[in-house]
Chains A and B, each alone.
Chain A
Amino acid sequence: MAEIVAALATSHAPLITGRPEVSMPERRDRLYGGFHELHRRLTAARPDLIVLFVNDHIQNFPYSNMPAFCIGLAEAYDAPSPGGARLMRIPARRVRGAPEWGMALLESGLAAGFDFAYSYEIESWDELSVPLHFLTPEGQIPVAPVYTNCAAPPLPTPRRCHEVGAFVGTFIRSRPTRERVALLATGGISHWVGTPETGRINPEFDRRVLDHVARADIEPLVRLTHAEIERDGGNGGQEIRNWVALLGAVPGWKGEVLAYEPVAEWITGCATVWVHP
């Protein structure tokens, strides 16, 4: 049977790679160190596939058609595109998708009452590009993204995200294959972006989230309301839905926080977390 061989949660932000020089060097080095350690552990886990819990930033899904959950069925993803590469200052590249795997997840979900949307073409942005730049610099591991609406309210509840993640985990473990699957959630933690409070970070909220993750104490995260997250974690904090989904896929697994840095210059509370049995 297939198995989940690694689970990782990280922040994403275009400035992490796009403006490394504006951060305090020791903060940057500690965060990059966390990414490098995740890379080392991910490589050692030898995954055949990375399932991504990520979110769009209204690059792809417009207000005329906004999915709550969408499975990527693309043959490949720009991670980043040439335009994104200029902004994020990382090499443009195409990362291979896993459309057949995604289709199997989609069909299984529809049969089980998880009515995913799907897309054959997604313009990925920092949600894939920045973490994968660190975690799969070789770019040889195919990716299967599950996009959750974290950016255009009303959003699916954290509880529903947890249920979706649990379904994905069950789906993986029920696959009659020997594939080794890594899970990667990106986003959060606190940040205010595009709002009148742009640039604010709330380390207290971030540490609370990380503490729950470290103890596999999921229920308080699952119970968070949109308003509570918006108040304490900002509109960018809504992206912890991706983390909640990942945690749903690996019940009981605990987070080891490799790095946490509230980097004001990158307007993001940035973390790298290894999630393990």
Chain B
Amino acid sequence: MSGTSYALNKILTTVARQHVMKDALSDDDLAGHDLNDEERAALKAGDITRLYHLGANPYLIRRVFRSRFPI
């Protein structure tokens, strides 16, 4: 996998622990998290491929954005 983004994995862990699946994250979800513009855009778009390449852990991507996966 690509390098790890702690910022992405931190917010995805927080959201995953809410046990609510999302198509995309909202500004409310992102509030208080230290993310760069690219990370914010990928989270708000629910862009699972982009998130992977930005260093989000794939298990966390799948847990949060389960509805984005065709299988």
A interface residues (Cβ-Cβ under 8 A, vs B): 57-58, 62-64, 83, 151-153, 193-196, 198-199, 230, 235, 264-265, 267
Contacts and interface: CB of A to CB of B under 8 A. Distances in A.
B71 A195 contact: no
Given A83-B19, A199-B71, A194 B10 contact: no
Overall SS of chain B's interface: helix
A235 B59 CA distance: 9
Interface of B: 1, 4, 6, 9-10, 13, 16, 19, 48-49, 52, 57-63, 69-71
B4 A153 contact: yes
Nearest first, the 3 A-B pairs at minimum CB distance are A194-B58, A194-B62, A199-B71
Nearest to B14: A62
A235 B69 contact: no
B58 A195 contact: yes
Given A152-B57, A235-B58, A58 B69 contact: no
A64 B10 contact: yes
Contacts of A194: 48, 52, 57-63, 69
B71 A57 contact: no
Contact of A196 (B49, B57, B59): B49
7 contacts: A57-B59, A58-B60, A153-B4, A194-B58, A194-B61, A199-B70, A264-B71
B35 to A, nearest CB: 14
Contact of B59 (A151, A265, A267): A151
Nearest to A61: B13
A9 B9 CA distance: 30
